[in-house]
Structure 1
Amino acid sequence: MGAMKLNERSVAHYALSDSPADHTGFLRTWGGAGTPPTPSGTGRRCWFVLKGNLLFSFESRESRAPLSLVVLEGCTVELAEAPVAEEFAFAIRFDAPGVRPHLLAADGPAAQEAWVKALSRASFGYMRLVVRELQSQLRDARHSLALHRHSSWTAVSSRPKPQAPDRRPPGLENGHALSKDCSPVDWGEERGGRPAGRGLAEMQGAASLFLGRGQSPLCPETSYFSALHSWYGQEISELRQRWMQRARAGAGGT
């Protein structure tokens, strides 16, 4: 595996640029290229900045020049043991032979977990896997949507078209509904305006008017409704005369 050459000025400019960092924080380090030597077992506390697949270390947060750079490709990030007790350590190990691992330690378990996740997801290899997985999910979602639309269209196409309901009452003519045997039914009678028995008796009494004219009393023509009106008027007049006679007779008796 050949060595990768980097332009130090360009790398330093990118490390100090305003481009957003993926993760930052203080870590203790025990090795790696460019790391200043420290007393045995104590480690060195540095400020680390992760941008893309590049991990920079600085002497402090205000430093203007990086101490070291780690390119996070072809490596694995795993928990490790630090030389000092109670250190939350992890290591960056490379597959290439002869490359020393980078041993780092965070200030606590939450910071350790956050750094391990961020570094494990920083390589382009991981990003390629994520992109492939997302593309596969997108293809499955489009296929499912196409099947759903096809099934919905098929169901709508095979469904019979609904007929417009006929809101007019059956056989409605001149305010009366005719039954199947052409018997007129007064809507006022159905609502309780007049007893059904009395209406039937009146229609039977009026039948002679239509039979005398050659018409059926069950299905009279429109022109003969005037005869019905006259017949009802005569009955009312007779009832009024009877009432007046009873009233006069009652007055004479007193």
Structure 2
Amino acid sequence: MKINEKNLSAFASSATPVDRDGWLDMRGEIGKSYQKRWFTLKGNLLFYFDKKGDKEPVGVIILEGCTIELTEEEAYSFKIVFQCEGGRTYFLCTNSQASMEAWMKALACASYDYMKLMVGELQRQLDEAQAEAAAEAAALVTITPPEEEPKVPPRGQRYNPFNRGLEGSESKTVQGSRHHKENFRPEVARKKVPFRDIHTSYGRKILADRNEWRTKLAKQKTTTDQPLIEL
């Protein structure tokens, strides 16, 4: 892959946000001595300079297709290993355990492949969250039942349309009617009277009225000499 050194130098010294920077000791595969370099990580590009504030980097490591591993040579040391054919290994060393762990984590997460995996995982989590939210929203939706149609009485049967307004109320009686609460006294029960007693009671009154009427007719006959009308 061809690299435009001029563009890389401009990018290294630009105002692009820096993911991590600091001093690290570095050596290659051949030499055994470490050299102190100022490192700047921007995206998947790891620049290293002779001094902090230099405009042009000494070199750049493209963090793609590599692994970040611990070493046993020096304390707080690790390496960047390229497993491809012709790949090389960079040995780096810092001054504390915390600094070493922070650098290893930052370098391991800098590659494009890692970011692609992270974006895919975040998209999966987002899809699951949206599906759960949609399911919860669907569960909260209350289906409004259709308005109940008015009941139609059987053919030939009549009903009072004003009673419809009383449906669902506590009292289904009209104010002032004989069925109203105020007029209704459940403790007073009507006595059931046999038909024979009713016939006898009203029959006597009818007979008395008839006899009184016949007496008046008899008196009228004596005064007018008109024939008596028999019933």
- 1:139 aligns to 2:136 (yes or no): no
The percentage of counterpart residues that share the same residue type is: 35
Matches of 2:175 and 2:182, distance apart in 1 = 14
Residue 157 of structure 1 aligns with which residue?
143
Structure-2 residue corresponding to 1:114: 102
In the alignment, residue 43 of structure 2 is paired with which amino acid? G
> How many positions carry a matched residue from both structures?
169
2:38 to 42, 47, 70: 47
Hey, what's the Cα distance between the residues in 2 that align with 1:172 and 1:179?
A: 9
Q: What do the CA deviations read for 1:185-214 (whole angstroms, capped 9, x no partner)?
A: xxxxxxxxxxxxxxxxxxxxxxxxxxxxxx
| TM-score, length of structure 2 as denominator length | 0.63
For residues 41-65 of structure 1, the C-alpha deviation after alignment (integer angstroms, 9 at most, x for no partner) is: 4411110000010000001112222
1:186 match: none
Q: How far off is 1:159 after superposition?
A: 7.4
Q: Which runs of 5+ in 1 are unaligned?
A: 184-254
Indicate if the aligned counterparts of 2:12 and 2:55 stay in contact, CA closer than 8 A.
no
Residues 198-209 of structure 1 aligned to structure 2 (within 5 Å): none
Partner deviation per Cα, 1:101-158 (whole Å, 9 max, x = no partner): 11101111111111111100111100110111111112212222222222222xx116
What's the TM-score, normalizing by structure 1?
Answer: 0.57
Counterpart Cα distance in 1 of 2:33 and 2:15: 33
Query: 1:89: how far off?
Result: 0.6
Structure 2 unaligned runs (5+)? Answer: 148-167, 186-231
* Equivalent residue number for residue 17 of structure 2: 20
Radius of gyration: which is bigger? 2
Off by >6 Å, runs of 4+ in structure 1: 158-161, 168-174
Q: What is the DSSP-based 3-state SS (H/G/I as helix, E as strand, rest coil) of the residue aligned with 1:157?
A: coil
Q: After superposition, what is the alpha-carbon deviation per residue over 1:228-249, rounded to whole angstroms, capped at 9, x for unaligned?
A: xxxxxxxxxxxxxxxxxxxxxx
Aligned CA-pair RMSD = 3.4
